[in-house]
Every structure is written in C-alpha cells, then in structure tokens.
Structure 1
Amino acid sequence: MIHYHGTPVSGTRTSVVEFLRGRHALVPFPRRDDLHLVAEMCQSFVFDNGAFSVWKSGGKLDVKGYLDWCFEWRRHPGFDWALIPDVIEGTEEDNDALLADWPSDIRGVPVWHMHESFDRLAKLANEWDVVALGSSGQWSSPGSASWWQRMDEAMEAVCDEHGRPPCRFHGLRMLNPKVFSRLPLASADSTNASMNAGSLDRFGIYVPPTAGQRAAVIAAKIEAVNSAATWSRV
C-alpha cells in the first residue's frame, strides 16, 4: 500500500525537506506551496483537485486551471495520477459529466462518493484501473459507525467471493491505520502528519525538536501499517 501524505507541510524549508525525503505525497491544487520540494524529494506524488476544500468553503473549482496544471506535470517521472474534478455532494450525472471531459493523455482517477449508488461504484471499478473512495453526505466522517456500515455495504457490492476488489482502490482522507488496515486499499491519503506536527502534547515530555521531525514520527507510525489484502465480511 502507498501512503500519500498531504501537503503543504508546516515548518522551515529544511524541516519540510526532512519530512518529504523518500515519501509519497498528495499535492492539492489550492495549496501547491511544496510542489517543487515534493517533486525533488518524494518517491512519487498525486494531485488533488481541491474539491473537498471548495466544498467546505462554498467556492468554485477552477477546472481549466487544474487541467493546465496537471498537463504541465503529467510527464514528471514521480507523477502517479490526478484526481478527476468532482462535485462532492453533486449528482451522479454531475460527476459523470466531469469524467467525460477528462483528457485521455493525463492519468486520472475518478471519485466514487459514498452517497452515490453502488451501481456507479461497480461501473467505475469496471472502467478504471484506480477508483478513489470519498466520504460524503451522512458518511462524511471516516471511521464512524455509520461510515463503516456504508463502507461494508459498498465492499459487499463490488468485491468477489474472496473479498478481492475489482480494481485498485484509493482511500481519500483514510490514512488512519484503524481504517485502512481493514480495507483492501492500494493507497490512501490524509494530512494527519502535517496537521498534527504542531500538537506537542501527543509526544509527552520527549518532543522531537523540529516540525519536520515530529511529522516524520507520525508518518513513520502510519507507514508501519499495511492495508488489508482482502475485504473481510462482518
């Protein structure tokens, strides 16, 4: 499983380099601050269209600007893929229309939102080699009891009798070992390491001196855990 850590990362540029070295990163379109460091220091990286931030703020996604950005970076050897623009609480028709407009020369990954039908999930999984799973609607909080019930139903709908998924799944905001260790994910992302590097209380009295070191400790503990090989029915 690939653990993609969300950027930007707080701290000095030296501490950011310290954290990014040899890791995998997710770079959001609205916050490209660390992109050139990511491109130099990380093993690989993916692009996030910023739909979640736009949804939270009530703004509008600059689809053309995002496409231009993806086109510029698509040939970098560390570039894995880009999330195709999506409307987090939009209709299936809204999101299918955005998929239809995605250019074939940029490796894109569609998003299935948990409020959407399992038929759409199955369709995406049969047509794309990677599908991102996005928490939305009443299931917007990964790891909650209702979220797990919905996720179990989704896996039941698309996995085979051995619990194997039909494609590679990416978990959006699911880089929590308590979450991804129970799911057959090929990759997942979160901003856990970068966001919590400033939370000194979590380290007790033995606090690493720099933000980069603290983020690296958090990331290393996450990376020590792998995803499930198959989905186990509960």
Structure 2
Amino acid sequence: MTEWLPELLAAILAAVLAITLHEAAHGYAALAMGDDTAARAGRLSLNPLRHVDRVGTVILPGLLVLFQLLTIGRVEVMFGWAKPVPVDIGRLRNPRFGMVLVAAAGPAMNVFLAWCAAMLAHPLDGLAGVLPPEAMEFAIRFVVLSILANLLLGLFNLLPVPPLDGGRIMVGLLPRGPAMALARLEPAGLVIVLLLLFVLPRLAPSLDIMGGLAALVTGPGFRLILQLAGHGV
C-alpha cells in the first residue's frame, strides 16, 4: 500500500483542486454578471474546503483511485463533484446569455488549470537532480494527474444534459421551444447522466461515453495541452 501512497495523494489533490475551482469559477462568473448569491452564501472563495462535498469530492474520487491502483496499478480516470455554487438566474444581467457564461466558466477553468499544470513541467526540468527523487516523482505525478483530471472534468461537464454545464449552455443557445423542453429534463438530469454512464455501456459497449471521454483526454487532449504549454509532442 505504501508504494501507492504518493500517487493516491497526488490524484486526490489534483481531483479536489479541479472540482472545487470549477465551482468557484461559476461563482465568480455569476458575480461578474450581476448575481452576488454565491458571495452572500460564502461560496465565492478559492478555498477548496468551502466547496467540498464529502462524497463527491473525497470519498468517490478516493475509491476510484484505490480501485484503479488495485486493478491496473495506475490512475487513468477520476470522477467526482463539489457542492454546486448557488446562482440566481433572475439576478443576472441578460439572464439567458448570462447563464451560458456562468455555465461555461467551470469547464473553461478546468482547461486553464490543465494548461497551468502543463506549464509547471517547465520549472520541473530545471529541478532535476536538485529535488530528491521521491519529491520529483510526486511532482510529475501531480502534473500529469492534474492535466487528466481537469480535462476529464471539463469535458464531462460539457455533456448536453441539464444540470451539467453543457445542458445549461444548450438551454441558453437553443431556440425557445427546444430550450424549454431541454430545461424540463433538469429534475431527472442526474438519473439520465447515471444511466448514460453506467447502464448504456452495458447494453451497448460501443456507446461507452466515459470510456470515450477518457480516451480523448489521455490521447489527443493530453498532447494538445502539452503543445499549448510549449512542450514537444
């Protein structure tokens, strides 16, 4: 177990930062659009503890990491959620378009964090031979897992199902009729997402959405972020 501990800690740290800063971005975007609900609720904060959901931010990601370490010996996929930041759409300037920007802020933050993690690899090159091998290995693990966690979380949230960010973006962009029809799915949105992720692949393995997202993130997505951060392929 001790040989897995550094990767476990790096994975949990990467997941917690990705999830909580994703939620914080929603709050800051809402404030910029005129809604201070998150600020009044004490949720306009970069402190991860303000956004942590015990199950979605700690227990589930931790169990996923442990399961992967026990079965394949490495961490490839992480999934979780934080406490949603409260947004009052009625207080937004231009509520419909404002909600699109608020929803898009979360995935945009994840892409930015993935890029920041890739940029951290540059100073790490200069620290080779200076840091102890264990510290260097932990730093590299954190960089890699941060890129993967942020890209996966950002892409997952862009699925066009309310209450995911992609669903709310679609509600703001579609014509009124289809937008209202899609918005009415929100009360059942979590059930729909769970069915798509865990039931559909069993019925039709070729429609494994999470597997497809993971393949996109660990392949072309990972290479693209490295290139944007100035690394060679």
**Smaller-chain TM-score bracket:** under 0.3
The structure with the larger Rg is 2
TM-score of the pair, normalised by structure 2: 0.28
Q: Which one has a larger percent helix, Structure 1 or Structure 2? A: 2
Relative to its length, the structure with more strand (as a share) is 1
